[in-house]
Structures are given as structure tokens and as C-alpha cells.
Structure 1
């Protein structure tokens, strides 16, 4: 029993150390050179709750055209009231089977801790207030914005007719789930996907950010 307790204690210390180093060690180590002209900027938002992060992309005509398949899938992203399209990547079982904490089940948790298929969740939003404790905004140039859109688009699994919506999977009439590329686990999860997307956008994150709190702290430290 003492050996088990000691092992669990060492494991907890190792995880805490890994999270701390992953937060405090920047990635990339050095800031990238600014390639976009001054003034050509898009303000993206990172939205967080205690366990998950999403990226809110400001809508313009080019964004609407690029992601028009969302409208075909039933998301009214072409409404004039829409100001942001919100993208998130995550584990299939946890995302689809846990719409609220009260519906938490053992199987999705086990899959999230081991290996699970992944899905993209897409929602729409009107204006999002800043400043807000759960919202972080960043201005990026045109070239980086295009690279971010490329990264997000590449996360959708493609079928013969393009992105693959998951039937009868949504939290409301304004959002949908789609099949995604990659596999989800406790080490490579929704927040590491967000961090990789932000690095594509020319921002710096921690080296490994499995939690929204660690990602948020690293973003404040290095951007």
C-alpha cells in the first residue's frame, strides 16, 4: 500500500512538473518575424471553460465562402447577425455524449483518458464581449489568418462530398458536429489542438498545454 501511495505521489509530481514546464517553456522558443503588413489584421478570440477551448473566427465574405459547407449542413452561418464562427476539436465520445456535466458517463471519460476518435464542433455567435475572463483576443495579419483557416479546414475529415456532418449530433439548432482528422487522448486533446492552431497563426504558446488554464497563462506570457 505504501509503495502504491509513493508511486501515485511521484506520478502526481511528474504530471504537475510536466504541466508547469509545458506552460513556461515557449513554443516556438523565439518569436517569429512579422511578415504581414501593418494594419492588415483580423481579431481572433480564444474562448475557454474549465476544461475546453475554442477559437472564434471573425466572419467576412471570404470566410463565409470558404466555410459555406456549414450552411449546407444546417448551420446558419450566412445570417447577417453572425459575427463569429466558433471551431473546436475534441474526443468523439466525450463531445457527443456529455452535453452537460450532469450527463457525465464513465465510458466517454475512459476514452478521453486513453484513445478516442475525434470530431469538430462548429457553432456561431453574435458579438462577443471583451474584456472577459473567459475570452482572449489576438490581432493577426492576413497571411497568418489564412494559415489559421487552412489549419482549421484541414482538421475536417473529408468524404466524397466534402466535410462529413454527424447525423443527429448537435447541442442546439445553431451548431453541428463533423468527423475530424486525428485521434484524441489525454496528452493530445482539445487544448493542444487550439495551441497548435494559434502557433499556425503566428502566436506563441507553451510547449505542451493540455489545460485551458495553462494555455491561457502561456498566451499571456508570450504574446
Structure 2
């Protein structure tokens, strides 16, 4: 009985390791296949991609002739309530990770399991910035107004809205600082639809360089080296 149990356990472990290797190998290969690699750069709107080393945000101007985000993503939803920012970063992700896991040490098995298999809700994390500095973790992208309209529509559809069509702020004390806020999101996070997959899809939608598919930030930034 013991030998059978050990054999079953070993088989299970080897199977999980094999699946992990297939996942990582697929991610590595697909991330290096470029989409829109010959994107036309029409310098009408400046956006940025920003990573903290794990998670990618799409950083957009607070307002221009296409969209005024301040009418819905309001500074009053943040702790600092500072309305002088010029850019706003959008990140989509698992609600449990965002609100219940301030550090990796706080990660619960239940949160990780639900996130991995699409069993929980999503949230949008927004951060206001007065200035943006381009470096290895932040890349500037110039796009046309037409392409920016597509990106705006994509980001808007990621917000869950009320019956009145308004975004839904999440009341929480889990803010990362004085200039950020959380909102209810659409969809569920999973191993195949991550925060970086969301950002990568946004770049695809607006005709910019992106990976065919990537769950990691490095897959996105590989095309902007």
C-alpha cells in the first residue's frame, strides 16, 4: 500500500512538473513571435508600458481630444485626492491578489489556486502620475489618434459598470500609495489570461508591437528592447 501511494505521488509530481515545463516553454516561444512588428508610428498620442518586474501597466494620458479619463477615474477615489496628474496607469488582474496579497509572504494557497484556474473575480488597478520617466522598466510608444481610440475602447470594456454605466470603485484599505485606486473588473484571471496577457492584448488591439501570447511582462518588453 505504501509503495503504491509513493508511486502515485511521484507520478503526480512528475506530471505537474511536466505540465509546468510545457507551459513555460510555450510561453517562451510564443512571446518571441512578434505581432504588428512593422507598426506605423504616427506620433499623435504618447502612451507607455510600465512594469514593476512582474506586472505590466498601460499608461495613458489623463485627457486628450479622444478621452478624458478624469470624468470616470477620479482623483477623489484615491487617498491623496491629487487631481494634478498628467498620466494614469491601468492594470488588470486578480482581485484576490490585488486586495489580499500586499507581499508574496501574504499569499494564501486558496488565492493562488483560484487565480490560477479562473475561479475568482478581477479588478482594475489605476495609478495617477504627474510625470513618466522612460527607462528599462518603462517604454514610450507613439500611436495615432485612431489607434488610441481602439485602445481606449479596450480598456473601457475591462471595467465592470453599474446599471447607470459608471465604473465601480472598490472601497478598500489595500491601496499601494496615495495616488491609486481599485475598480471592479470584467473577466477572470488564470494561467492563460494574466495581467500581462491583458496588457499585451491591449497593444495588439491598437496595432502596436506585441507578443503572439505572453503571460509574463518580459514577453512584452522583449519587443521594445
TM-score with structure 2 setting the length:
0.83
CA distance in 1, matches of 2:23, 2:59: 30
Q: Deviations over 1:166-193 (max 9, x none)?
A: 1225333321111111111111111110
Distance 1:86 1:45 in 2: 9
Q: How many residues align?
A: 213
Q: Please state if 1:69 is matched with 2:77.
A: no
What residue is the counterpart of 1:86 in the other structure? Answer: 89
| Distance in 1 (alpha carbons) for counterparts of 2:194 and 2:57 | 12
The aligned residue for residue 3 of structure 2 is none
Which segment is superposed worse, 164-173 or 191-200? 164-173
Instruction: State which of 132, 145, 154 in structure 2 corresponds to 1:128.
Output: 132
Against the structure 1 CA distance between its residues 74 and 114, is the aligned structure 2 distance closer, same or farther, given a 3 Å change threshold?
same
Is 1:11 aligned to 2:14, yes or no?
A: no
- 2:54 corresponds, among 35, 51, 56, to 51
Instruction: Decide which structure has the larger Cα Rg and report it.
Output: 2
1:133-155 deviations in Å (ceiling 9; x for gaps): 21111111111111111111111
Greater Cα offset, 187-196 or 46-55: 46-55
1:130-149 equivalences in 2 (<5 Å): 130=134, 132-149=135-152
Flag the 1:168–1:63 CA change in 2: closer, same or farther, 3 A: farther
- Secondary structure of the structure 2 residue equivalent to 1:165: coil
- Using the TM superposition, give the Cα deviation of residue 4 of structure 1 relative to its aligned residue in structure 2, in angstroms: 4.5
Is residue 183 from structure 1 mapped to residue 188 from structure 2 by the alignment? yes
Asked whether the equivalents of residues 64 and 78 of structure 1 are also in contact (C-alpha less than 8 Å), the reply is no
Q: TM-score under structure 1 normalisation? A: 0.83
Residue 158 of structure 1: SS of its match in structure 2?
coil
Q: Secondary structure at the match of 2:121?
A: strand
- 1:112 aligned to which of 96, 105, 115: 115
Displacement of 1:66 after TM fit? 4.1
1:26 aligned to 2:34? Answer: yes
Aligned to 1:196: 201
- Give the unaligned 5+ runs of structure 1: none
Name structure 2 gaps, 5 residues minimum: 1-6
Cα RMSD over matched residues?
2.5
Secondary structure at 1:94's aligned position in 2? helix
Kept in 2: contact 1:70–1:77 (CA 8 A): no
Inter-partner Cα distance in structure 2 for 1:21 and 1:146 = 30
